[in-house]
Structure 1
Amino acid sequence: MENTTHATQNFNLHPVVQRLFAKREMGPQEIQEFLSWDLNSLPNFGALIDIDVAADEIIKAIDNNEKIAIYGDYDVDGTTSCALFYQFFQKLNLEVDLIQPSRFVEGYGLHNCSIDRAIEEGIDLMITVDCGISNVEQAAYAKEKGLKLIITDHHKDGRETMPEAIAVVNPSRRDEPADSDMKPLAGVGVAFAICVEIRKKLLARGQDIPSVYDLLQYVAIGTICDLAPLSPMNLKLVRHGMRLIKNTQYEGIKAFFDPTDRGKDIIPSEKLSFNVGPLINSKGRLDHPEVALKLLISKDYNEAREYYHQLVNCNTERKAIQKEVFEEAKEQVIDELKRDGELDIAIVYAPHFHEGVIGIVASKLVETFKVPAIVFSDAEDEGVIKASARSAGDLDIYHLLNEHRDLFLKFGGHKAAAGLSMPVENLEKFKTSMNAMLKEIPLIQRTVQDFYDLEITPDEIDPNLLRGLDALEPFGMGNAKPIFKLKGAKLKNFDLLKDIHVRWNFTSITNQKINLKGISFNYMSKWGALTPNEIYERQNDPSVELDVYFTLALNYFNGNKYIQLMVERVDLN
């Protein structure tokens, strides 16, 4: 461990960052790879199965003036994938059609009605992005109807057979190497890989093709917001994309960032996670995703801002619906807890739950109760319910659900998240079986564990530490923002904001001159948390010590910036 800490000094890292790497038991080579921006060390995208076939087929379609359509999922990964392909074909001076299904009309994936519509509109070649790997019947239908189909996806290949298409490019397909470095690619990363391959082939035959480097902006947004694992490959792709976003030439991307954002040293990944992604997703959650896609490909800033404001309004509506559904879902879970005394998984259902928010509600249930969650609502078809599932801890929710495949009508996803539909009469059997299976899995593997990365002292919280942490960006799945612990804190005072958020003012019991500002969003709705008033009163007991767990951020306000503790919890010992 000491050797690791000593080795990190060669990278000129902040002492706290050095201790972080030491705790993760990362050696010099791993640290170098983690911090690397070197795009030359990316895996060879050309090694993906069928990518060569896909690139050749797309080039052939271009040469023959065939009409090409991009068919993408309605979430942020699918929408950024569509936008990325659109901008790539713009570089080749080509127009392509963009097709996205509605969550409420067609639902997720490829559909026969979409294939029929594409044929009616004269589409010769359709390329799916972020979907298609489970659409075996629809691929067969496209073949029968004479529509050429290329499937690009990153979800698990879980059907008995793979769909039959001209090419299936998916790092998670069954015959890709199990240890492939490309498995963590998001759907938008797969789309980018194909564009890289097409450009390589066009350059090889003497065409002058613009760089695709700037398309990494879409890769950054889609990868972070789809919670793709931040492997060394994805870290490199996202870092470059985020650097480009700051001074983006794409008017649709620029619309998300005001001058304050663009004036920051870096645009933090949290801005993508909490502001950009939810806005892009909001339209797909409530009606049709086309406004978000129109925004991302807009060439006019004023038009882009108009679309942006539509998304803001839509997202406000989404939040209100989500709050309603979450409160009702939470009550169902609390009732179950009161009845059974324990909770292995939160499975809730109400016919009227809005289908567009059940995924977020499932995530919030995981956050609240620290166990996996599945939220059901009624589907379009009579007697059918559909659900979004979210994992907790290291649990592979896809694997667990796959054991119940015979109960489902449709099912797909990956380790952390999945979706399914099934006859409503199967619900009780499903709940009983899931609970029984979870009891066989050790608690530590299937619950969210309270933990922290490092204990730090108040005097270590300074601008240099913030700059040191910037080197670890982007934060996301597999590279969580470090959680720090501050021992011996004292709560000087606090304010409630909008009756739900808490603004804290801490000092240290050993140094009363220290003043640390903090905030906790939605703290007052946290399950089982002590109220700020209880903390304030009970800290006066000399035997009680206050521990604060937090991440660090810079708060920009009225042209000033100051360090803010993003407080996750406060414990009394």
Structure 2
Amino acid sequence: MADGGVSIGYLGVDRSLSGRRWRERPACPDLTRRHQLSLGLSEPLARALAARGVGDDQGQIYLNPTLKALFPDPSGFQDMDRAAEVLVDALERRRPMVVFADYDVDGASSAAQLVRWFRALGHELPIYVPDRITEGYGPSPAAFRRLRDEGAELVVTVDCGAAAHDALACAAEIGLEVVVIDHHLMRGDEIPKVAALVNPNRPDCVSGQGHLAAAGVTFVLLAALNREARRRGLFGDRLEPDLRQWLDLAAMGAICDVTQLTGFNRALAAQGLKVMSAWRNLGLKALLDVAKSEGPASVFHVGFILGPRINAGGRIGRADLGARLLSTDDPEEARALAEELDALNASRKEVEREVVEAAVAVIEREMNQPDQPCLLVAADGWHPGVIGIAAGRLRERYRKPVVVVGIDRAANVGKGSGRSQPGVNLGRAVQAAFDEGLLLAGGGHAMAAGLSVRPDSIPELRAFLNERLAAESEAAAAEDCLDVDALVTTQGCSRAMWQDFQRLAPFGPGNPEPVFAAADVRVERPMALRGGHVRCTLADGSGGKLKAIAWRVEDTETGRRLLAEGGAVHVVGRLKPDDWQGREGVQLEIEDVADPRRA
């Protein structure tokens, strides 16, 4: 506490250059000591484990999460056994089936798992993925009628369908049987009448696995399918599929859908990355090759190399490219699909850059109101496939909820996507705007939302959201903290230290990547890179030198301070391996900077 009762943050930083307060990630000292003794850990690592809520009896399984210890009983999921019965029955009867997938990585990896299981049983399962632009998200009556007209008798929806009441009602009318495999939140207590609806987030499901991505739910379904097929004697003349070979697909969905990496889901991600590292999936290997990457699979590979390329098909290309890539066993097809997705991703990045730059100009020059509780920025022609990514980039920059709307004047409609700040429930506000008649459609969850709006209603919508979110945004800004795991010196940041903390991996929501602080460091040889990144070297009184990089900061206060050199700063960031030219070192990815004179 400073005089007057004002709370001062970690290293005295109550307000960094990005406006955040720093604090030491809270951890129980007694639990830290017990982890040290029982697990033989260093004090910083034991403290990080305690800070992540890992209890006395959980440390070993946390550091080595296994499916054997954490796999849930498939029967604990409502309708899981029924889904397995329906699908194996359809397999035995050779009924015409289609898997209907969402157009993102989670949908593609879920679909590929089902395709590969059915293929192992001698049945090729077609994939249908709706077009983001022309069909929108999830099943529609038109899509179901089309599939029925083409001869489908059974549709399995993955990563979608649980809230598609109109489409499911249409399916019942036209005699199309539907099995839903989903993980999204469902409104109300009404369960659609379908053959089976497996969703750990349906109101009456007691599985306790609501944090799974659809790919994780699908992987549990594969276990149920194996069990049902075994019960029926279908493995008498063929080998039972070894589900572990498809763990890489389950991990793709878990990581790219930014799910909580705790419990069983953590085991899926950890074991899936091990399987992925063999690069036996032809599609993933081809994508890795065209991206000119290599090495054992990591969260970085999945989240920043493979995932964005798979998503590019659904954003600005053909929606089914990702699912086809992950399910193909043809090397030539895999290579062709990977090259197409890589090219689409390059185009996506350029379109995204243009939208973000234009949005920043609107916010800071035309709107001239960047201090609003919520930023809603709109313009003609912004591609609906990148507005969600743009909203995420702008949220990082302004540390508040952002909604980006692309307006189609010919159709007289604006399609919007929003990303929120922790503590601000954007989805609830968007739903309230819909209830008020300000939107054509809208919904979402606390951290993300989508909407459709008439262009002439945008000013009224902006005012509504700002009024609705004012109190939450003010409270969230006060609590906008950056948690630090340990204080380090440039000399102490070694490869051995990085490897020690890698025992906590894989990192993601529920298991944040360790954040380290370095105090009173000098910034040497700063350099602005293409893309707005800043590279530099950090030095301090320990005599060490630490390479560092800050992403997309050149035109921010943080970037300007790094480029200015001169005077000591405090920095926080994440340690990353630096293997350039075989050096096996580390570098710091700078997350935030504070000027001690102003903090």
- TM-score w.r.t. the length of structure 1 is 0.92
Structure 1, 494-503 or 123-132: larger mean CA deviation:
494-503
CA separation of 1:27/1:303 partners in 2, compared to 1, >3 Å: closer, same or farther?
same
Aligned match of 2:312: 282
* CA-CA distance at 1:33 after TM superposition: 4.5
Q: Is the 8 A contact 1:102 1:289 kept in 2?
A: yes
* CA-CA distance at 1:525 after TM superposition: 3.4
* CA-CA distance at 1:247 after TM superposition: 0.7
* CA-CA distance at 1:23 after TM superposition: 3.8
* CA-CA distance at 1:78 after TM superposition: 0.9
Confirm or deny that 1:13 pairs with 2:29. Answer: no
- Consecutive unaligned residues of structure 1, counting only runs of 5 or more, are 540-544
Q: Is the 8 A contact 2:65 2:267 kept in 1?
A: yes
CA separation of 1:44/1:174 partners in 2, compared to 1, >3 Å: closer, same or farther?
same
2:525 and 2:170 map into 1 onto residues whose CA distance is: 65
Q: Which amino acid aligns with 2:494?
A: D
Q: Is the 8 A contact 1:155 1:412 kept in 2?
A: no
Structure 1, 469-478 or 329-338: larger mean CA deviation:
329-338
| Larger relative contact order, structure 1 or 2 (CA cutoff 8 Å, min sep 6) | 2
Aligned match of 1:485: 517
SS of the residue corresponding to residue 460 of structure 2 reads: helix
* CA-CA distance at 1:304 after TM superposition: 1.6
- Equivalences for residues 196-211 of structure 1 within 5 A: 196-208=223-235, 209-211=240-242
1:336 and 1:405 map into 2 onto residues whose CA distance is: 27
Aligned match of 2:321: 291
- Equivalences for residues 82-481 of structure 1 within 5 A: 82-158=111-187, 161-177=190-206, 180-208=207-235, 209-258=240-289, 264=295, 266-335=296-365, 338-339=368-369, 342-378=371-407, 382-406=411-435, 407=437, 408-441=439-472, 443-445=474-476, 448-481=480-513
2:560 pairs with one of 519, 530, 546? 530
Identical amino acids, percent of aligned pairs: 28
* CA-CA distance at 1:367 after TM superposition: 0.4
1:155 and 1:342 map into 2 onto residues whose CA distance is: 32
CA separation of 1:278/1:329 partners in 2, compared to 1, >3 Å: closer, same or farther?
same
Q: Deviations over 1:269-322 (max 9, x none)?
A: 011111111000111111212222222122133432232121111111111111
SS of the residue corresponding to residue 28 of structure 1 reads: coil
* CA-CA distance at 1:225 after TM superposition: 0.6
Q: Which amino acid aligns with 1:517?
A: K
CA separation of 1:74/1:251 partners in 2, compared to 1, >3 Å: closer, same or farther?
same
CA separation of 1:337/1:371 partners in 2, compared to 1, >3 Å: closer, same or farther?
farther
Q: Is the 8 A contact 1:181 1:233 kept in 2?
A: no
Q: Which amino acid aligns with 1:97?
A: P
CA separation of 1:445/1:43 partners in 2, compared to 1, >3 Å: closer, same or farther?
farther
1:73 and 1:325 map into 2 onto residues whose CA distance is: 24
2:458 and 2:425 map into 1 onto residues whose CA distance is: 20
Confirm or deny that 1:568 pairs with 2:585. Answer: no
CA separation of 1:364/1:255 partners in 2, compared to 1, >3 Å: closer, same or farther?
same
Q: Deviations over 1:105-127 (max 9, x none)?
A: 11111112211221122111000
* CA-CA distance at 1:136 after TM superposition: 0.6
SS of the residue corresponding to residue 124 of structure 2 reads: coil
Structure 1, 515-524 or 437-446: larger mean CA deviation:
437-446
Q: Which amino acid aligns with 2:63?
A: L
Q: Is the 8 A contact 2:422 2:447 kept in 1?
A: no
1:495 pairs with one of 489, 509, 527? 527
2:227 and 2:327 map into 1 onto residues whose CA distance is: 24
* CA-CA distance at 1:12 after TM superposition: 2.8
Q: Deviations over 1:9-59 (max 9, x none)?
A: 222334321221244454323434433422132332321111121111111
1:410 and 1:127 map into 2 onto residues whose CA distance is: 25
1:300 and 1:382 map into 2 onto residues whose CA distance is: 41
Aligned match of 2:59: 31
SS of the residue corresponding to residue 344 of structure 1 reads: coil
Q: Deviations over 1:351-404 (max 9, x none)?
A: 211111001001001100000111112359833322112121233332332323
1:56 and 1:116 map into 2 onto residues whose CA distance is: 25
Aligned match of 1:547: 570
Q: Is the 8 A contact 2:430 2:444 kept in 1?
A: no
CA separation of 1:335/1:30 partners in 2, compared to 1, >3 Å: closer, same or farther?
farther
Between the two proteins, the alignment pairs up a number of residues equal to 560
Structure 1, 249-258 or 129-138: larger mean CA deviation:
249-258
Aligned match of 2:580: 557
* CA-CA distance at 1:220 after TM superposition: 0.5
* CA-CA distance at 1:524 after TM superposition: 0.6
- Consecutive unaligned residues of structure 2, counting only runs of 5 or more, are 1-27
- TM-score w.r.t. the length of structure 2 is 0.88
CA separation of 1:14/1:136 partners in 2, compared to 1, >3 Å: closer, same or farther?
same
Q: Is the 8 A contact 1:376 1:387 kept in 2?
A: yes
SS of the residue corresponding to residue 330 of structure 1 reads: helix
Q: Deviations over 1:494-535 (max 9, x none)?
A: 222227222211111x233x111111222213366434332x
